[in-house]
Amino acid sequence: MKGVSGIMAVGRDPVAVRPLVAGPYRGAVVAALDGPGLREALGVLPDLLAAGDTIHEGRNRVIRCRFDADGRRLDLAVKSFAPGSAGFGWPARGRQRKARKAWAAALHLAAHGGLTPAPVAWLERPGRRGALESAVIACHWEGACSFRDALARVFRESPETSVLMPLLERVAGAVRAMHASGFMHGDLGNQNILLAAPEAAAPSPGVGFIDLNRGRFAEPPGLRLRARDLSRIDLPSDLRRIFFEMVFQGPIPRRFRRWELHYRRRFAWHSATRRLRHPVRTLRAPRSAAAVRDPRDFWIWDACSDQPVNAWTSRDRNRLHPHGAYLAEGLRALPALPAVVRAYRRLKRAAYTRPIELAGRVGVAVRLRPETEARERALLEELGHVPVLVRFCRHEGAAVWAAVAAAVRRLHEAGYPVTVALAQDRRAVREPARWRAFLDAVLERVHDVVEAVEVGHAVNRVKWGIWSLADYRGLAEATAAAMARYPRLDWLGPACIDAEPHTTLGFLRALPAPLQFSALSQHLYVDRRGAPENRQGRFATLEKAVLARAIAEADPRGGGRLVVSEFNWPLAGTGIWSPVGSPYLYPGQVVGAPNVTEELQADYLLRYLLIVLCSGMVERAFWWRLAAHGYGLVDDRDPQGWRRRPGFHALRGFLHRLGRARFLGRPAVPAGVQAFDFEADGRRCRLAYAHPAPVAYRPPFPVDETVDLPERAVPPGTPLTGTPRLFVRRS
């Protein structure tokens, strides 16, 4: 039994163990499980393994063995190391053998929070020329699976952050505890992290590290060692960033990033050359099915922000983008540029020069789920019978589609004009038959009660599943039958997000003939970091709306009209519910810009509507959305119940005062003042605000009433600020 006490010293472990002699084998056993029956069974280890069930077959085998010993039922996992695999024919003197090293590590991790299946015993039998037959034995976790298999199941069956983030946090916490205990795994791949089934009798957190024979003890562990250990975790790059933030419970240290990248590249080279170094072993090794075969197919839904999340960092997204995709967009847009430029110049001159009827131009989006429909309907009643947009998501499934469709019919019966937006996922892009089935299922239920249908969502953002014009063309071709079946409907598209004219033109011109839209739809987010008057280069909200309208008029596929089907400003302090943040925030993390305060959101909402509607560029604009914690007009997660935010009160006041008004024009005003004249209910009024700084302003006509749009009275002489103020002319 020489060497057993040394193993114990390496492990620094309080678990009581005893020397073991069982037939031809020598080793050690946990005292709590020791007994003559167990020793007798281990003495005939080959017979035990022959009667067991194979868990893993390779150079080293893992066998599940179940038998009765010493009055109890044992369920064990036995990892047997192939003869010669530990020493390659060299004498073992001065070297710890694989089974011994794995045993020492298992004792250590078991004593530090049960971070491995409970160790039972280790055995070895010396053979010829120093070769040996050895095994390490642990309790088997019924129903357990590897982190690799758990991820594959999530990506395949339930690709949602509500499932993925808790899984990552669970594993990250266990990794953090393992490193804190002073142990470095040495081969920390996804396959070597075991997750106990929820019903299994496993210690918290139910994460066990296996294949421990490459491990080493290091206390305290440095960033370089931790980087080396974590460099084998296999996740898409942005999910890996989140995982590392979970491990550190804070920002990732810069030194760790450098070393992790170094070791990841080194391991990638090691893996790439494995076929050359071990050709026979590589051919014999079983191949596991990949969770996602194409890295572009990672598609994960985040219910908090109501959108997919990017699995890859921007650098990797650029690397994965099909070669020539941007060039293809540009080439398709090039022939239309002269017509777009001419239309842009004409429309820019015409902005604000003609009367505009505002009735029916301001809309809101609602979610409409059975548990929230009544509250959303009550809020809509407060706003009046405004146009409503309802989104159907392909990934949510037929039961949700049916429930939302029934709610849409109830909205129509209550007198609301309804537009539906149909949002794709990556699977629908890859398998157009799924998209066709989705269209058929939704439109069959709602085609007679809606005014318009928007096809696709944010098609120029790869997180929504479209990586190229070819992807979009396939989606459009799958839509053709539905467009022909329901010609009465207004069909809107291509639903690009942000002001990217070359992309919008490219997608529009990618439509297969003879498809064309009734109107061009755009998710026109102009500057989430500030006021709608802010410029990005030469373009502010007005110029970007003019450009989008010019595209709609210059290309016949655009229908000559423009609908803004989504805009909002995300809110500060809403954490993972903000649409511009991360699906995970480490403790104490605060996300600032581009989020804004609730008061600024209300101001920007009104100013945006004034610019895009009164200019005559936009036919209708939908705020996304009515109730949402991270960006909605109503906070649906407030502890006191659904809370109406300043934006809701401002929009309600705008619709009450000006919802059926007629825009007359923009008067001459002092510098820093933005003013719009209206006629509402037979009376003239002026809506004005100051930008970029407050100014003193009094309109050049007698005033009966001065209010802001939550309809609160404003004392005379109060400086004009960024909050729009209504001056009602004396009759």
For residues 634 and 709, state if they share a domain: no
Q: For residue 139, what are the β-bridge partners?
A: 76
Sheet holding 662-665, edge to edge: 356-357, 662-665, 673-680, 683-690, 725-729, 703-708
For residues 100 and 161, state if they share a domain: no
For residues 464 and 538, state if they share a domain: yes
What's the rounded Cα separation, in Å, for the pair 681 and 504? 39
Sign of the dihedral through C-alpha 211, 216, 220, 221: negative
For residues 62 and 97, state if they share a domain: yes
Range of the domain at 33: 4-139
Q: With beta carbons less than 8 A apart as the criterion, state whether 301 and 395 touch.
A: yes
**Tally of structural domains, the chain:** 4
For residues 419 and 502, state if they share a domain: yes
Q: With beta carbons less than 8 A apart as the criterion, state whether 610 and 555 touch.
A: no
Position 291 in a domain: no
Q: With beta carbons less than 8 A apart as the criterion, state whether 456 and 423 touch.
A: yes
pLDDT, position 285? 59
DSSP 393: E
Q: For 204, list phi and psi in degrees, rounded to 5.
A: -65, 140
pLDDT tens track for 124-164: 987 645 456 789 999 999 999 999 999 999 999 999 999 99
pLDDT tens track for 184-233: 999 999 999 999 988 776 777 899 999 999 999 988 889 999 999 999 99
Q: Report cis status (omega within 30 of 0) of the bond before 587.
A: no
pTM of the model: 0.92
pLDDT, position 526? 77
For residues 51 and 101, state if they share a domain: yes
For residues 632 and 548, state if they share a domain: yes
For residues 484 and 363, state if they share a domain: yes
What's the rounded Cα separation, in Å, for the pair 461 and 467? 8
Q: With beta carbons less than 8 A apart as the criterion, state whether 551 and 560 touch.
A: no
Cβ within 8 Å of residue 517, ≥6 positions away: 491, 492, 493, 494, 508, 511, 557, 558, 559
Query: Which CATH number is 556's domain given?
Result: 3.20.20.80
For residues 112 and 170, state if they share a domain: no
Consecutive 10-residue runs of the chain (731 residues): their mean pLDDT? Answer: 32 74 92 94 91 87 93 94 54 60 95 94 74 84 94 95 97 97 96 89 85 91 96 97 98 97 92 74 58 87 97 94 79 90 98 98 96 96 96 97 98 98 97 97 98 97 94 95 96 95 92 93 83 91 97 95 97 94 92 90 97 98 98 94 97 98 97 97 96 96 96 95 97 79
For residues 268 and 369, state if they share a domain: no
pLDDT, position 720? 98
Query: Domain end: 659, 691, 713, which one?
Result: 659
